């Protein structure tokens, strides 16, 4: 299959958002090559429409749409979720932009199973994958949000997107009408029941651990230093400040205090950044005070300093779609300051960190 649109281009914009401070780089997920199908051999008639969404209903010559079955997680129902389906401009995505139109369909979620009448694409929603393509496609994404006092909170986005094709493309497994398209694998499959999980609920608990690799940890304390520069250290109480052991572990539980959060103008997102470190408690009061105490070491993964971030819930549908496609969630994450090796640390990497001589603060690093 000829590569036409590398949807991963759109995901690159997400990896920069996750730095929360301007560090840029590809995440582990951006290596996936997501493409939309090119024209197939018109002589191949092996395509089948078995397993596709329910047949299109017609009244006279007017096509109303296609019945679409959807299954949701129970918490979406319990929290009064609102389901919506959004048209996605895949040509803009291919240019490295991201445009998700206002909902073409919206309905309250009353049960874990529902059926909606999905309208067929309008002419202005159909796009040719390339200039010489004879067929046209339209992409739609199913999502659920809830509402709080601040507005919308996006809870889940379908892992499979809906793709309408004006023609059968047998070589690509595409049938005329509705198909499923996976943005992470570029696989096309027959449209069936849309499964919608709560894949954007915040991660409230994060544990990371490792070893101390200097002479002794005696007299040192472990701390997570809040990175918000908009408030003083006296106002920002560290969420972790404890005696450091040879085998150490930090557990982050729940949302950080409000004055730990700051707004990233570059990436249009609220987050709290917490820098793991070991410090010498000079005054012996067991409270980190930058004017009195001294940072001895940072925490590293294979020599790269790490930062814990708490990402606020997602309040716009475009970010929700991007994060879902990248496999990311709000809440706690552990990230590299240098994201060239991949931004987010895996579970195994989070359990194999080092505090010590291989991870010095910048003002102590040899020139």
Give the pLDDT of residue 49.
Answer: 41
Residues of the chain falling short of pLDDT 50: 1-17, 22-34, 40-52, 57-61, 63, 366-367
CA-based radius of gyration for the chain: 24
Nearest 5°: the CA angle 128, 133, 134 is: 95
Of 327, 334, 319, 328, the closest CA to residue 153 belongs to 319
DSSP codes of every residue in 24-93: ----GGGGS---PPPP--TT------TTPSSPEEEETTEEEEEEEEEEE-HHHHHTT-EEEEEEE-HHHH
User: Helix, strand, or coil here: 219?
Assistant: coil
Give the pLDDT of residue 90.
Answer: 84
The answer to whether residue 47 sits within a structural domain is: yes
CA distance 34 to 311: 26
171, 40 Cβ separation under 8 angstroms: yes
- Total count of domains within the chain: 2
CA distances to 24, 119, 201, 317, 325 from 14, in Å: 9, 30, 17, 13, 10
Give the pLDDT of residue 9.
Answer: 29
> Residue 263 pairs with which residues in a beta bridge?
270
CA distance 184 to 182: 5
Give the pLDDT of residue 7.
Answer: 34
One domain for residues 176 and 261? no
Q: Examine the fold and report which residue of 143, 172, 196 is the final residue of a domain before the chain moves on.
A: 196
Give the tens place of pLDDT for each residue, 183-239: 888 899 999 999 999 999 999 999 999 999 877 777 899 999 998 877 666 567 899
Could you list the residue range(s) of the whole structural domain that residue 343 is in?
205-364
The answer to whether residue 256 sits within a structural domain is: yes
Would residue 75 be called left, alpha or beta, if left means φ above 0 and alpha means ψ between -120 and 50 degrees? alpha
One domain for residues 238 and 328? yes
The answer to whether residue 18 sits within a structural domain is: no
One domain for residues 152 and 224? no
Of 54, 127, 123, the closest CA to residue 88 belongs to 127
One domain for residues 341 and 259? yes
One domain for residues 215 and 161? no
The answer to whether residue 234 sits within a structural domain is: yes
The answer to whether residue 187 sits within a structural domain is: yes
One domain for residues 213 and 353? yes
Give me the phi and psi of 283, to 5 degrees please. Answer: -90, -5
pTM confidence score:
0.79
Give the pLDDT of residue 342.
Answer: 76
The answer to whether residue 2 sits within a structural domain is: no
Give the pLDDT of residue 81.
Answer: 92
CA distances to 51, 119, 120, 136 from 58, in Å: 20, 11, 11, 22
One domain for residues 51 and 162? yes
The answer to whether residue 58 sits within a structural domain is: yes
One domain for residues 214 and 94? no
The answer to whether residue 15 sits within a structural domain is: no
Residue 271's H or E segment, with its range, is: strand 269-280
């Amino acid at each position: 299959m000829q590569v036409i649109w590398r949807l991963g281009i759109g995901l690159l914009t997400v990896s920069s958002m996750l730095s929360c401070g301007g560090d840029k780089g590809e995440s582990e997920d951006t290596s996936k090559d997501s493409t939309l199908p090119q024209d197939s051999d018109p002589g191949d008639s092996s395509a089948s429409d078995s397993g596709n969404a329910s047949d299109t209903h017609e009244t006279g010559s007017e096509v109303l749409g296609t019945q679409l079955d959807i299954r949701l997680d129970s918490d979406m129902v319990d929290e009064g979720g609102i389901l919506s389906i959004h048209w996605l401009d895949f040509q803009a995505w291919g240019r490295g932009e991201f445009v998700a139109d206002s909902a073409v369909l919206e309905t309250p979620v009353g049960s874990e199973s529902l059926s909606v009448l999905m309208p067929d694409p309008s002419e202005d929603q159909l796009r040719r994958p390339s200039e010489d393509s004879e067929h046209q496609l339209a992409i739609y994404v199913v999502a659920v949000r809830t509402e709080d006092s601040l507005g919308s909170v996006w809870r889940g986005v379908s892992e499979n997107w809906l793709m309408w094709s004006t023609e059968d493309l047998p070589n690509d497994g595409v049938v005329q009408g509705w198909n499923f398209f996976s943005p992470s694998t570029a696989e096309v499959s027959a449209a069936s029941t849309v499964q919608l999980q709560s894949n954007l609920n915040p991660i409230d608990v994060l544990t990371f651990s490792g070893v101390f690799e200097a002479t002794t940890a005696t007299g040192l304390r472990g701390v997570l230093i809040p990175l918000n520069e908009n408030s003083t250290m006296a106002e920002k109480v560290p969420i972790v400040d404890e005696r450091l052991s040879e085998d150490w572990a930090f557990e982050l539980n729940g949302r950080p205090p409000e004055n730990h959060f700051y707004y990233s103008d570059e990436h249009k997102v609220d987050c709290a950044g917490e820098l793991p470190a070991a410090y010498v408690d000079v005054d012996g009061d067991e409270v980190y005070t930058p004017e009195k105490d001294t940072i001895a070491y940072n925490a590293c993964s294979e020599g790269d300093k790490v930062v814990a971030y708490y990402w606020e819930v997602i309040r716009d549908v475009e970010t929700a779609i991007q994060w879902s496609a990248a496999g990311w969630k709000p809440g706690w994450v552990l990230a590299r300051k240098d994201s060239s090796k991949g931004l987010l640390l895996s579970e195994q990497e989070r359990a194999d960190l080092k505090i010590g001589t291989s991870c010095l603060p910048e003002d102590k690093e040899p020139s």
